[in-house]
Amino acid sequence: MEKLIIKNFKCFRDIEIPVNHLTVFAGANGNGKSTAIQALLYLRRTIEHCAKWNDKIYTYQQSNGLNVELNGAYCLALGNSNQVLTIDSKNDFILLGLCENDKKFHVKYQIQNDELFLTPSEVQNQRNEESSLFAREFYYLNAERIGPRIKQSIQFYDFPNTGFQGERTAQLLGYTDFNYSFKVENKRKFEEENSPRLLQQVNAWLSYLMPEVTVSASYDINTLSAQIRVNNRFTKNNPVIAPNMGFGISYVLPILVTGLIAREGCFMIVENPEAHLHPSAQSKIGRFLAMVANAGVKVIVETHSDHVINGIQITSAKRKINPETVTVNFFNQTEKSNQPELESISISSKGELSLWPRGFFDQTQIDFAELFKLRKDCTSSHPTIISSHDHATRPRIKYTELADSVSVVRTTHGYKNQQNSK
């Protein structure tokens, strides 16, 4: 398994983060998930800017004096050189890299005051032929994706991709030559749709997430624009423009398209795939991303959704992905932490998580335990005004009060977690 190396970069002083075939970054706001992704994106941008293109891959063996911008590429907005160096750091360098076993690739950057760039000063590369980071194809979808638009501009690209914010999604779906020539491989085809055409497969997966929802696309070279139209039960086969249908469809479409076209062995990074989606669709997008990883794409997902995690667990339990290829990295902090703390969680063949640390998607249990106590207190104080419906709890979750502890049994996942309330 690869590990992402980060030293003296923003909140991380020195850390190695496991990167599996399917890697999930989870944790509370401000605990380092985005910084870890930014480190990988900045490393990739360094390769694109400073390495040599050698027919099929980038080759980067030594520094060449070129500076690498901190803002712009991959939607990065890192500020200046002082703002990316860890606060109170005694070092004047940043080091980013990837390693696997004894083979390493890292770049050391020298810090200069208040510059809008970093300058690579040292390169160690034993993984040029092995790491996906050096491939031409690299897919990234920012959390702030393009919402519903009447049309999107047609743009040049080095390889088919939806852009960092999904801005090329309509172009890829509407361009007939690409749509007919590209064939979705069998491992990624929706099981009830035999056609390998991209638009058919996108619609099959989209309808799986959102029943009866499909899209169509048009492409106009004369106006340099492309358009998405949306159809559902209520449009009665008269598709409407995307702004008339809300944000969820426009936000998830780039994920579906990218997942179906991403080259095997390459990185696909998705931030907040759950954005604007109903919980049912959040679970299903988790299953979709697990499918993409199982097809050989190196998927990294940053999420705040337990439904996405549930979808991945279900995919593991159904044997549709090898659970050994899935890692959930939970970023946390304590009062004694001088950088975010990392706990790597694995998934069993039954879909069970190996750990359930405090703060890891436990808010539902905490809230329901509090609600249970409030209802109990309310029942004791006002027994005549409480209806039987007020004592209902959610299916598949049971609560038992034992002194100062709340024991939560989550039968869906087949594990028990006891948490002391303090």
Task: Give the pLDDT confidence score for residue 15 in this predicted structure.
Answer: 96
CATH 3.40.50.300 location in the chain: 1-137+264-357
Burial 251-279 (b: 16+ CB within 10 A, else e): bbbbbbbbbbbbbeebbbbbbbbbbbbee
Give the long-range contacts of residues 393-396, CB within 8 A, separation 24 or more.
393/368, 394/368
Position 327, amino acid: T
Q: Does pLDDT of 361 surpass 80?
A: no
Task: Give the pLDDT confidence score for residue 394 in this predicted structure.
Answer: 43
Q: Does pLDDT of 164 surpass 80?
A: yes
For strands 57-59 and 52-54, give the pairing. Answer: antiparallel
Instruction: Find the length of the chain.
Output: 422
Q: Does pLDDT of 397 surpass 70?
A: no
Q: Does pLDDT of 190 surpass 50?
A: yes
d(CA 143, CA 80): 22
Left (φ > 0), alpha (ψ -120 to 50) or beta: where does 284 sit? alpha
For strands 298-302 and 267-271, give the pairing. Answer: parallel
CA distances from 206 to 28, 102, 167, 373 (A): 29, 42, 18, 41
Burial of 234: CB neighbours in 10 Å, binned 0-12, 13-18, 19+ = exposed
Q: Could you report the per-residue pLDDT of 258-288, keeping only the tens digit for each?
A: 999 999 999 999 999 999 989 999 999 999 9
Q: Which helix (H) or strand (E) holds 373?
A: helix 363-381
d(CA 119, CA 112): 8
Task: Report the mean per-residue pLDDT for the chain.
Answer: 87
Q: pTM score > 0.85 for this model?
A: yes
The predicted model gives 361-369 an average pLDDT of 80
Q: Is 48 helix (H, G, I), strand (E, B) or coil?
A: helix
Top pLDDT among 23 and 234 is at 23
Q: Does pLDDT of 391 surpass 70?
A: no
d(CA 46, CA 68): 6
| Residue carrying the six token digits 């304590």 | 334
Task: Give the pLDDT confidence score for residue 366 in this predicted structure.
Answer: 83
Burial of 151: CB neighbours in 10 Å, binned 0-12, 13-18, 19+ = middle
Kindly state the DSSP code that residue 51 receives in the 8-state scheme: S
Task: Give the pLDDT confidence score for residue 187 in this predicted structure.
Answer: 95
Which of 345, 344, 350, 343 lies closest to 313 in space, CA to CA?
Answer: 350
Q: Please say whether the structural domain 1-137+264-357 has been given the CATH code 3.40.50.300.
A: yes
Task: Give the pLDDT confidence score for residue 382 in this predicted structure.
Answer: 60
Q: Does pLDDT of 387 surpass 70?
A: no
The predicted model gives 315-344 an average pLDDT of 92
Q: Which two tokens stand for residue 420?
A: 């002391």
The predicted model gives 159-186 an average pLDDT of 93
Task: Give the pLDDT confidence score for residue 314 in this predicted structure.
Answer: 94
Which of 248, 253, 262 lies closest to 297 in space, CA to CA?
Answer: 262
Q: Does pLDDT of 133 surpass 70?
A: yes
